[in-house]
Copies of this chain bind each other. A is one copy, B any other.
Amino acid sequence: MSVYVVGHKIPDSDSICGAIALAYLKNQIGEPSIAARLGDLSPETAFILEKFGFEAPEFKTSYAGEEVFIVDHSELTQAPDDIAEATIVGIVDHHKLGDLTTSTPLECWIRPVGCSNTIIKMMYDFHGVAIPKDIAGIMMCAILSDTVIFKSPTCTTADIKCVEALAEIAGIEDFKELGMDMFKVKSAVEGTPARDLVMRDFKDFNMNGNKIGIGQLEVIDLSVFDDIKAELEADISALKAEGERHSVILLLTDIMKEGSELLVITDDAGLIERAYGIACENDRVWLDGVLSRKKQIVPQLQDALA
């Protein structure tokens, strides 16, 4: 029986590249594995896979009766809907510890680093398996994406060293240039429906019983949103109602100015000020220096709702 290696819903590059890289490793050490995904590829991820010659992992949403290795999360809301009927044999992740539980022992590789692929590199090293050139390329891109080319406060020395080692294996001379190419792909939002943009990197969290949806769009210049901000706001408002969410927040992150504008629709008018010390004006607020949802948005919101 093969183990399915699968990242979170609305997969980002870390989830997709991590599933491919980890499934390869597992197969090398004699544990038959299949990379899978819970959703469509983002333009950024499609760019990465094409560059290094990979097909998208198998699209599969139901895992009842299967063995699953979870990548890049440990939250029920981000896992397959029927994960309770599957056997979780492992988790590799770099987020806060979520509410997934198991009834049997498993392997968890969770580290406070910038990207799951940095931890997957540690798994290759632990097992003494050489990383093929093309897999090194996609792992490196995932780390550059998650760490916003090392600018994110989530980025650690381990991530930087890992990118340098992977770039060497992949034969990439200027990895920062490749990172900027990725973010340019990410910044091409024109002509994309508002819902597609909002859902491109969207995660639901359970915060003290409240369902909170948080999306993030990282671009190299926020002006790309000037003409569509009202549309985005109408969409997250609809999304809040559809999903019976307590709040929906969309981070518009400027990776060059290094900060994020939040668009906020919430039942709790004081929430943003309690969490970040600045109140919204017209449901918008600029948070200087904020690049990381995981480190600079989620914990503060969780505390404000505790």
**A→B interface (CB under 8 Å):** 88-89, 91, 94-112, 122, 126, 154, 294-295, 298-299, 302-303
Query: B104 and A299: CB pair below 8 A?
Result: yes
B89, B95, B99: which contacts A105 (Cβ < 8 A)? B95
Query: B105 and A112: CB pair below 8 A?
Result: yes
Whole-angstrom CA separation of A298 from B95 in the bound complex: 28
Instruction: Tell me whether chain A's interface is mostly helix, strand or loop, or mixed.
Output: mixed
Q: Which 10 A-B pairs have the closest CB atoms?
A: A108-B110, A105-B112, A97-B102, A108-B108, A103-B302, A96-B102, A103-B299, A107-B111, A97-B101, A104-B299
What are 19 contact pairs spanning A and B, CB under 8 A?
Answer: A91-B97, A94-B105, A96-B102, A96-B104, A97-B108, A98-B101, A103-B298, A103-B303, A105-B111, A105-B112, A105-B154, A106-B110, A107-B110, A107-B111, A107-B112, A108-B110, A109-B109, A122-B126, A126-B126
Q: Which residues of B have CB within 8 Å of A88? A: 97
Q: Which residues of B have CB within 8 Å of A298? A: 103
Q: Which residues of B have CB within 8 Å of A101? A: 96-99
Whole-angstrom CA separation of A112 from B99 in the bound complex: 19
Q: Which residues of B have CB within 8 Å of A95? A: 105
Whole-angstrom CA separation of A249 from B27 in the bound complex: 41
Query: A103 and B112: CB pair below 8 A?
Result: no
Q: Which residue of B lies closest to A111 (CB)?
A: B107
Query: B100 and A105: CB pair below 8 A?
Result: no
CB distance from A87 to the nearest CB of B (A): 10
